[in-house]
């Protein structure tokens, strides 16, 4: 079966839309807006200070292990005293987004990666690290954990990511 050039371009755009990182970032923002008291991962000095305060409790995680914070109440992430006082109640949230029609309610059929940094953060933070699965088509959100995801996994493929 041959395709016209326009059909090839249309198919390629649909393929790219499924895999574009910018689509994931947009989905993260949608999920954050949908949830009460969630804020995006702090940046710059606020992120450094948050990770320093966390490290002072013996927990060392990478910034890439979470996309958002679920706060117990409104706090200033620039205020070290407020962060320190609230740290035990802050949940670190990694957001996984889907825009695939094959993803069913409850996220059956959702294929995504969990990184080593996310697994390490989940091990250290326990119930204070959550994975939010977000379906951009239906706006369904499922708050879960690495261990809960692994328990319901139908297939698993390991890969080694390298930088040269």
**DSSP string of 55-112?**
HTTT----GGG-SEEE-SS---TT-HHHHHHHGGG-EEEEEEEE--TTPPGGGTT---
Q: What confidence score (pLDDT) does residue 105 get?
A: 94
Whole-angstrom distance, CA of residue 39 vs CA of residue 91: 11
Length of the chain, please?
A: 164
Q: What confidence score (pLDDT) does residue 21 get?
A: 42
Q: What confidence score (pLDDT) does residue 24 get?
A: 54
What is the signed CA dihedral for 34, 35, 41, 42, rounded to 10 degrees?
100
Sign of the dihedral defined by the CA atoms of residues 19, 20, 21, 26, in that order: negative
Whole-angstrom distance, CA of residue 32 vs CA of residue 20: 19
Going by C-alpha positions, the residue among 31, 98, 100 that lies closest to residue 68 is 31
Using only C-alpha atoms, the chain has a radius of gyration, in whole angstroms, of 18
Sheet holding 129-135, edge to edge: 38-40, 68-70, 91-98, 129-135, 141-144
Decide: 93 and 34 in contact? Cβ < 8 Å: no
Q: What confidence score (pLDDT) does residue 30 get?
A: 81
Q: Give me the average pLDDT of each 10-residue run along the chain (164 residues).
A: 64 54 63 83 97 98 96 94 97 94 92 93 97 93 94 86 81
């Amino acid at each position: 079966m041959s395709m016209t050039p326009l059909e090839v371009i249309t198919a390629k755009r649909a393929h790219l839309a499924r895999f574009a990182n910018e689509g994931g970032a947009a989905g993260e923002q949608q999920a954050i807006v949908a949830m009460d008291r969630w804020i995006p991962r702090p940046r710059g000095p606020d992120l450094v200070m948050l990770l320093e305060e966390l490290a002072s409790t013996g927990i060392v995680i990478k910034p890439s292990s979470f996309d958002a914070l679920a706060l117990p109440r409104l706090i200033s992430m620039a205020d070290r005293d407020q962060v320190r006082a609230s740290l035990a109640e802050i949940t670190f949230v990694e957001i996984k987004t889907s825009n695939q029609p094959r993803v069913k309610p409850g996220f059956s059929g959702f294929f995504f990666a969990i990184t080593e940094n996310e697994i390490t953060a989940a091990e250290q933070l326990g119930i204070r690290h959550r994975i939010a699965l977000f379906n951009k088509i239906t706006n369904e959100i499922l708050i879960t954990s690495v261990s809960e995801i692994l328990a319901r996994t139908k297939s698993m493929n390991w890969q080694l990511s390298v930088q040269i």
